[in-house]
Amino acid sequence: MSDTLFARACRREPVERTPIWIMRQAGRYLPEYRALRAKADFLTCCHTPELACEITLQPVQRLDVDAAILFSDILVPLPAMGVEVTFNPGPHLARPVRSAGDVAALRVPDAREATPFVLEAIRLVRCALPQTVPLIGFAGAPFTMATYLVEGGGSKHFDAIKGLLFSDPPTAHALLARCGETVASLLAEQVRAGAQAAMLFDTWAGLLGPADYRAFALPYVRRVFDRVTEVAAELGLDVPRIYYAGNAGGWLPACRDTGATVVGLDWRMDLEPARAQLGPELAVQGNLDPAVLLGTPALIRQRARAVLDQAGPIGHVFNLGHGILPQTPPDHARVLVDAVRECSSRRVA
Ligand code: 1CP
């Protein structure tokens, strides 16, 4: 793994071309995924290692991407914390967490007991993947997990989570600490099971201003990545730590203190100024607007080139700025992969 294109780009080493994978690359835009989902519901797919493995491999086979990401979901650890969740297709929690009592009742599970199916899926995928394609393990960042726990699902205004932060900070911190411990165990155990990179999705951190980001999100991300670093060192491995900073605003420079080695960005900001704020030590991942894949192949090629030009040849992993849209024609995803490959190798040659 230490020599894959993806690993070298994450380490900011020279590469012959820019690696690419696609956020939510296993999912509803793929007919082979929909065929499988017609027979098994979403949680069954997540809970059955053989199915999770098969779905993880689907986009690798069809698109020839440079990394696989485990098929699972950031909310998979919730039942082991004591919170039931259903998907249709977005998540819905029967009993959101709102009070100090609710927080105190949350369990902090060890991933080996709570989510053994995730670890087994990783072992299966590792056996099935070619050596050149690394497997990314992932979890939700503590603040984003807390957002779903408090809101009870997706939300328009996020007044429940923000209300909790400002009306009862000690309870908010107790909740974030429990999410952080759960996620640290999950991500560290994924590395032990064979995941070759560890990614945290902080989809909702963009709700926070800089001071609140530093208070409520950053310290908990740092703790998770510290645990990943410890386990990687124990195993003698170099494991890239990727932090998806959703809708990052004025707190982008604070990402330097998360312990991440790669920061994933959405399309709301250009990569060149983002790099200036992140400093020379971090690699970047992103950041094409997923809706571009609804345009023509010519537009996709042109926009891919623009992202590559912004990012430069070193320390860039190409990706979308958020998950691929379900209505995306699979052929357009392939056009993107081929365009990134072609454009970035021409640049190096
Ligand atoms: O019916 C279905 O098939 C369910 C749709 C679906 C899928 C395919 C959900 C429900 N989750 C997933 C898979 C998933 N989720 C992956 C798979 C690996 C991959 O190919 O990338 C990953 C990495 C996630 C991560 C995830 N889940 C995030 C973080 C990334 C992001 O998109 O911001 C979030 C926020 C979730 C919550 C979630 N789960 C599912 C949905 C539809 C959502 C979003 C709900 C919302 O808008 O709040």
For 227-270, how does the pLDDT look when each residue is reduced to its tens digit (9 = 90+)?
Answer: 999 999 999 999 999 999 999 989 999 999 999 999 999 999 99
Q: How far is the CA of 150 from the centre of ligand 1 (A)?
A: 18
Q: Given a cut of 80, is residue 2 above it in pLDDT?
A: no
Q: Phi-psi category of 20—alpha, beta or left, where left has phi over 0 and alpha has psi -120 to 50?
A: beta
Count other C-beta atoms under 10 Å from residue 24's C-beta. Answer: 18
pLDDT tier, 346 (very low <50, low <70, confident <90, very high otherwise):
confident
Q: How far is the CA of 313 from the centre of ligand 1 (A)?
A: 30
- Kindly report the average pLDDT of the chain as a whole number: 97
Of all residues in the chain, the percent with pLDDT exceeding 70 is 99
Is 4 within 8 Å of 135 (Cβ atoms)? no
Q: How far is the CA of 347 from the centre of ligand 1 (A)?
A: 34
pLDDT tier, 347 (very low <50, low <70, confident <90, very high otherwise):
confident
Q: How far is the CA of 202 from the centre of ligand 1 (A)?
A: 12
Q: What is the pLDDT of residues 162-193, one digit of tens each?
A: 999 999 999 999 999 999 999 999 999 999 99
Is 172 within 8 Å of 150 (Cβ atoms)? no
Is 141 within 8 Å of 200 (Cβ atoms)? yes
Q: Given a cut of 90, is residue 34 above it in pLDDT?
A: yes
> Which of 108, 118, 112 minimizes the C-alpha distance to 138?
118
Catalytic (active site) residue 73: yes
Catalytic (active site) residue 123: no
Catalytic (active site) residue 8: no
Q: Given a cut of 90, is residue 223 above it in pLDDT?
A: yes
Nearest-CA residue for ligand 1 atom 45 is 90
Is 251 within 8 Å of 274 (Cβ atoms)? no
**C-alpha to C-alpha distance for 293 and 9, rounded to whole angstroms:** 24
Q: Given a cut of 70, is residue 349 above it in pLDDT?
A: no
Number of domains in the chain: 1
Q: How far is the CA of 201 from the centre of ligand 1 (A)?
A: 10
Name every protein residue with a CB atom under 6 angstroms from any ligand 1 atom. 23-28, 37, 42, 69, 71, 73-75, 87, 89-91, 138, 154, 201, 203, 322-323
Q: Give the active site residue among 37, 178, 275, 341.
A: 37
> Which of 189, 175, 46, 17 minimizes the C-alpha distance to 117?
46
Residue to mutate, 20, 21, 24, ligand 1, most ligand atoms under 8 Å from C-beta: 24
Q: Give the active site residue among 28, 214, 223, 305.
A: 28
Nearest-CA residue for ligand 1 atom 46 is 154
Find the helix packing angle between 218-235 and 169-193, rounded to 10°.
Answer: 20
Using CA atoms of 59, 61, 66, 69 in order, give the dihedral in degrees to the nearest 10: 40
Mean pLDDT of 128-147: 97
Nearest-CA residue for ligand 1 atom 7 is 27
Count other C-beta atoms under 10 Å from residue 1's C-beta. Answer: 19
Query: What single letter denotes the amino acid at residue 347?
Result: R
pLDDT tier, 348 (very low <50, low <70, confident <90, very high otherwise):
low
Token pair for 86: 């259903």
Q: How far is the CA of 90 from the centre of ligand 1 (A)?
A: 7
Is 97 within 8 Å of 82 (Cβ atoms)? no
Ligand 1 atom closest to the CA of 70, numbered from 1? 18
Of all residues in the chain, the percent with pLDDT exceeding 90 is 97
Nearest-CA residue for ligand 1 atom 22 is 73
Catalytic (active site) residue 220: no
pLDDT given for residue 345 in this prediction = 94
Nearest-CA residue for ligand 1 atom 39 is 90
Count other C-beta atoms under 10 Å from residue 25's C-beta. Answer: 27
CATH of the domain at 342: 3.20.20.210
**C-alpha to C-alpha distance for 126 and 70, rounded to whole angstroms:** 10
Residue to mutate, 73, 207, 247, 327, ligand 1, most ligand atoms under 8 Å from C-beta: 73
Q: Given a cut of 90, is residue 1 above it in pLDDT?
A: no
pLDDT tier, 32 (very low <50, low <70, confident <90, very high otherwise):
very high
* Domain range for 18: 5-348
Q: Given a cut of 80, is residue 30 above it in pLDDT?
A: yes
Q: Given a cut of 80, is residue 291 above it in pLDDT?
A: yes
